[in-house]
Amino acid sequence: MIKTTSEIKQALQNLDGRITKTYRNLDDWIGSGEEDWLDPSWSVESCFLQLLSIAEAFGLPEFRKMIESEYLEVKRSNEGFRAWKTGGPDNQPYLVVLGRIRCFAYALEGMFPEEESTTVTKDVFQIVRDIHYVITDKAVFRTTPADETDVHLRIEGILKCVFPDLKHKPTLTKQIKNFVPDTGIPSVQTLVEYKFLATAQDVPRIADEVLADTRGYTSRDWTRFLYVIYETHRFRTENQWNQLLRESGVPENTVVVVLSGEPPRKRNKPKTKLEE
């Protein structure tokens, strides 16, 4: 049972993380052709149940009744918790019910006094997911990422603003061979490796590289490992990559995040005098 204010705040943060993860589940589900085993409805219902528990912990029976009424209405509807639409400036898919859940969650958050602290509490994995729109923004970088180095430097530059202790290519010293991951963040004990996936033929190679890296990236100083795969097209879902890790015996502290990008535009060669 949640008893303290800090526990309720943490529960709301956990709910926000679950909502964000559910949106990723939606992308995987749509990308798979709406396979039943990737159906995000169970995750949406889980968000509703978390919200009901938080409202009860707050001691707000009438507010909880409002949430429960909406929960039951959605549960009894034809589409249930899986109802989704497309919209927004990028015409991206979104789950209709999650918008209502966020509305209730924001109302609960409003009961806490505003804090002057500007400390970032967002998980590094989620920060990387949200970076996607920045690193592909032509107004910022002029071009979309052209290779692995582009992805690495763009993401690392943004992470550096959040984690000032970030290390570029830290060395993991071993008895026989040293390993050099792309990014290390000591404050959250996280190593980050970047991959650029441009063709379907490259999928097996990237898979081999990721699995090979997991064998070397072990250290008492680092407890979490993140592989960022930037795809120029949809080749494999994030769920498929993480399933590969689990089936290969890689522990849960190693995660793949897939960023869906777009192919780099070919640069026009300058015209010669004869062509002019």
221 and 147 part of one domain: yes
pLDDT in tens, 205-240: 999 999 988 887 777 778 889 999 999 888 888 889
What percent of the chain has pLDDT above 70? 85
Residue that wins the pLDDT comparison between 26 and 15: 15
pLDDT score of 133: 76
> What single string gives the DSSP state of each residue in 110-158?
TTSPP-------S-HHHHHHHHHHHHT-HHHHSS---SHHHHHHHHHHH
CA distances from 189 to 30, 166, 167 (A): 33, 10, 11
User: What's the rounded mean pLDDT across residues 23-49?
Assistant: 81
How many angstroms separate the Cα of 264 from the Cα of each of 24, 144, 212? Answer: 24, 5, 28
Q: Which residues contact 69 (CB under 8 A, 6 or more apart)?
A: none
Distance CA 141, CA 150 (A): 10
Q: What is the CATH number of the domain that holds 131?
A: 3.40.1350
* Distance separating alpha carbons of residues 42 and 262, to the nearest angstrom: 31
Tens digits of per-residue pLDDT, 112-167? Answer: 665 544 444 457 887 887 787 788 877 778 888 899 999 999 999 888 888 888 99
Is the entire prediction scored with pTM above 0.85? no
Structure token pair of residue 75 = 């549960």
Find, among 18, 36, 126, 49, the residue nearest to 82 by Cα.
36
Are residues 82 and 172 part of one domain?
Answer: no
**34: alpha, beta or left, given left = phi > 0 and alpha = psi -120 to 50?**
left
Cα–Cα dist 82/80, whole Å: 6
Res 89 pLDDT > 60: no
Can you give the pLDDT at residue 241? 93
Q: What per-residue confidence (pLDDT) applies to 187?
A: 86
241 & 188 share domain: yes
Instruction: State whether 171 and 216 are in the same domain.
Output: yes
Residue 119 lies in a domain: no
Q: Which domain holds residue 60?
A: 5-109
pLDDT at 207: 94
Same domain, 165 and 226: yes
Domain co-membership, 133 together with 99: no
pLDDT of residue 115: 52
Q: Report yes or no on 44 lying in a domain.
A: yes
Domain's final residue, options 52, 82, 109: 109
φ, ψ of residue 92 to 5 degrees: the values are -85, 150
Is 115 domain-assigned?
Answer: no
Domain membership flag for residue 273: no
Does 90 have pLDDT greater than 80? no
Same domain, 190 and 72: no
Query: Domain total for the chain?
Result: 2
What is d(CA 134, CA 82) in angstroms, rounded to the nearest whole number?
A: 29
